[in-house]
Structure 1
Amino acid sequence: MAVIVTIEIPGGTREQYEKTTRSLGETDWFPPAGLLAHAAGPDGDGGWRIVDFWESEDEFLAFMEKGRTVFEREGVRTVLPTVQEATHVMVRPAPN
C-alpha cells in the first residue's frame, strides 16, 4: 500500500537540506527503493517540510535507517514524520 510521508524538521534550512541531499546522493543506494515522488520546502514556521510518496511504510523506514548516519553527520537530528495511506498516487513521467 502506498503511503504519503510528511516530515517536519524544526529549525531545518534550505542549506542543510541541500547538503544532506548531496550527501545522500553520494551513497551507492540512492535514490532509495520504494520512493515514488519527493518535494521539499520551507514550512512557514522557520523549519523545513518534506512530502514524499513511498510504495510502503516499510520502504520509508528502511530508507530512514540507511540514511541515519548521513542525517546525523549533516546535523538533522529532529525529524517528525507523519505517515498516512495514499489511495491514489499519480506521477507524471519524466520528459524524454
Structure 2
Amino acid sequence: MAILVINRGAEWTQELYQTVFDRTLPDPAKPPAGLIAHFAAPGEAGGWQVIDVWESEDALRRFMEETVLPAAQEFGAPPFDSKVVEVYNSLIP
C-alpha cells in the first residue's frame, strides 16, 4: 500500500532544504527506490514542508535512515515532524 508522508520543519528554510536535497538526490533523474512523488514548499506558518508519496513505509524508512537523516545531521539541520498515512486514492494525469 502506498503511503503519503508529510514532513514539516518549523526552523527549516528553502536554502537548508535545497542543501539537504542536493546531497541526498544528486541526480533527480535517478530517484530513490520506492519514491513515487516529491513536493516541497514553504509552510503555512513559516518553516518548510515536504510531501512525498512512497510505495511502502519500508522504502521510506530505508531512505530516511540511510540518506536523509545523515545528511541533515551533517548540515546541523533542526528536527522536523513527520506524519505518515496510507494513500486511499490517487490520480496522476
TM-score range, shorter chain: 0.7 to 0.9
TM-score (norm 1): 0.83
RMSD of aligned Cα (Å) = 1.6
Residue 59 of structure 1 is matched in structure 2 by 59
Amino acid at match of 2:37: A
Contact 1:7 1:50 in 2 (8 A): yes
Query: For residues 48-72 of structure 1, what are the alpha-carbon distances to aligned partners after superposition, in whole Å with 9 as ceiling and x for unaligned?
Result: 1110000011111111101221111
Contact 2:10 2:46 in 1 (8 A): yes
- Structure 2, gaps ≥5 residues long: none
Per-residue deviation at 1:79?
A: 1.8
- Structure 1, gaps ≥5 residues long: none
Aligned length: 90
Residue 91 of structure 2 is matched in structure 1 by 90
Contact 2:8 2:81 in 1 (8 A): yes
